[in-house]
Structure 1
């Protein structure tokens, strides 16, 4: 074969990237504490190495395609190439057509079925902002070179978009991997985090799914602790309504339930529940699992780690897609806010660097 050296080079690349991907997968599986965004960064590197291995294998198949001795590798490479081309063609359609329509449909459902608040309009608001900035970027790109300083400044948009996309992917993969790893975790105590009550005293669908997830995961010895105080617009404490729902609707034994009825926030849910479990189990650092809605679980896990609680795992009750997507984005924004100083520094460095570059180019142009 004429391209034998090139063939072995891409074979080597395929094996190398596959080995690195396997090592990263092993590191993710062996992590002692999954309550970290490092999980998502490892996940991105893992997918990137799989992608490079995938393309190296395509190259191997194509080399055989143009040789005198095509084999099965040729067909494999061509199949992979076709799959990748289809995916690349679908991406513009996904983001330019499917995504805006999906956001519109989800927003309409959210507006009709949930509270009519500004928070529930977060998806269309974000989409509108991006569309406006996109239009401005195209307009600025068509300006003459005398506006070079403005063109340079508008480079902040794609750079900051990439920065935001990176952190969203890290959070998304961290949350997804964490959820997969927690599916089979067990503990003697399950804490169910509260949510607002319907008509001030009834468990709604969102909260009910949290309780069902905990009940379905419990064994014959598991104790459920329902955590949630009484809000200003509620007739009883959330924990009392949750306990009643589990006993009457799901037939869970009352003798294996406890309540924590003073908390108002996720912080208090976790801290107050940990104190009750500590007293009940007579252990300094008792281990427990917590149950929340699926979109909220990972942020609660990060919260538990920051509080140094032994709430190593969490699971989520199912949430309707129209509610889950905007809620997950709000969770992502909340996580960004916890490290706002770091992000402000990076944004400042990016924008500041572009401002200095724009001023320099403007001065050079006038000289």
Structure 2
């Protein structure tokens, strides 16, 4: 029976993943499948001790215990060191401080737990601590699901039959220079273009998508196209989409550029940390395409991932606000009930 449950959750994950790779539920189903696999390993360990499966289970279980015991502390240390690195490379800015904020938040929660700060507030306000715990658990759940789903979405090997390659913009340096981050996207897209051309003799149109920011001297798409020409991309294969201001508009306006074509097989290119959210927007813009990710410097990924998670949560903010409001109401009710019964 235990193994049947494991098979069920694995099958559930596979079906969901095949149906739509962009669903964050895929991360949830994979997590359930992995938990059920651990259950099967535990069952076999009890039934047949001393086998190879026993050693696998003991190793994995020990690893989980270590992560649960020291993961929070490790994250605090990592957040400080990584923030120093990103400050050195990218400058001291609010958007580069998100991981630091997470580390400080975890540190504060641990200090509050150790010092038992809840005993210093009136009983009538106990709901503040219980609701804070609920929020942490809620956000942690979605953070894990988003992280697992993001990793899953990067496992993609597109067929070499694309009519369009959409490369998403990300801002310019000094108002006109293509930064290394954006260069990596362009190089990744052109690498796919060249491989498809060499193996299938098929040329794709390359859509450079990005409008002009207030501090930019020209649209991102134009700067991207000029950079791509220096790498050997022919002028006739270039399509410039220079009106978009965000990822959704990247997809929406790129879809309009493809609207007149009967052949619309496409792939989009962005950095790996941005893939999942870009895929969600592609679906909303009715583009039947998945993405390939350009490599990003490791020091940049954790902070960028936190930004992506915040943006993802904002996509469904009404849903989250409803759930959190219900959680707050329940915590207030339970606190009031305990005070009344005391």
Residues 313 and 85 (structure 1), Cα distance of their counterparts in 2 relative to 1, 3 Å cut: closer
Counterpart residue number, 1:3:
none
Provide the C-alpha distance between the structure 2 equivalents of 1:303 and 1:324, rounded to a whole number of angstroms: 21
Matching of residue 158 in structure 1 with residue 133 in structure 2: yes
Provide the C-alpha distance between the structure 2 equivalents of 1:77 and 1:294, rounded to a whole number of angstroms: 35
- RMSD, matched Cα: 2.3
Counterpart residue number, 2:224:
242
Matching of residue 78 in structure 1 with residue 78 in structure 2: no
222-231 or 251-260: bigger deviation: 251-260
Counterpart residue number, 1:8:
none
Counterpart residue number, 1:40:
27
Counterpart residue number, 1:314:
291
Unaligned runs of 5+ in 1: 1-11, 63-73
Are the equivalent residues in 1 in contact too, given 2:9–2:29 (CA < 8 A)?
no
- Displacement of 1:336 in angstroms is 0.9
Are the equivalent residues in 1 in contact too, given 2:45–2:51 (CA < 8 A)?
no
Matching of residue 121 in structure 1 with residue 97 in structure 2: yes
34-43 or 117-126: bigger deviation: 34-43
Counterpart residue number, 2:275:
297
Counterpart residue number, 2:233:
252
Matching of residue 179 in structure 1 with residue 154 in structure 2: yes
Q: TM-score, normalized by length of structure 2? A: 0.89
Unaligned runs of 5+ in 2: 198-202
Counterpart residue number, 1:188:
163
Counterpart residue number, 1:274:
255
Runs of 4+ with >6 A deviation = none
2:245 equivalent among 256, 261, 264: 264
Matching of residue 110 in structure 1 with residue 86 in structure 2: yes
Counterpart residue number, 1:353:
330
* Greater gyration radius: 1
- Displacement of 1:193 in angstroms is 0.7
Q: TM-score, normalized by length of structure 1? A: 0.83
Provide the C-alpha distance between the structure 2 equivalents of 1:167 and 1:96, rounded to a whole number of angstroms: 17
Matching of residue 24 in structure 1 with residue 12 in structure 2: yes
Counterpart residue number, 1:55:
42
Residues 215 and 77 (structure 1), Cα distance of their counterparts in 2 relative to 1, 3 Å cut: same
Counterpart residue number, 1:231:
213
Q: How many residues align?
A: 334
Provide the C-alpha distance between the structure 1 equivalents of 2:47 and 2:70, rounded to a whole number of angstroms: 30
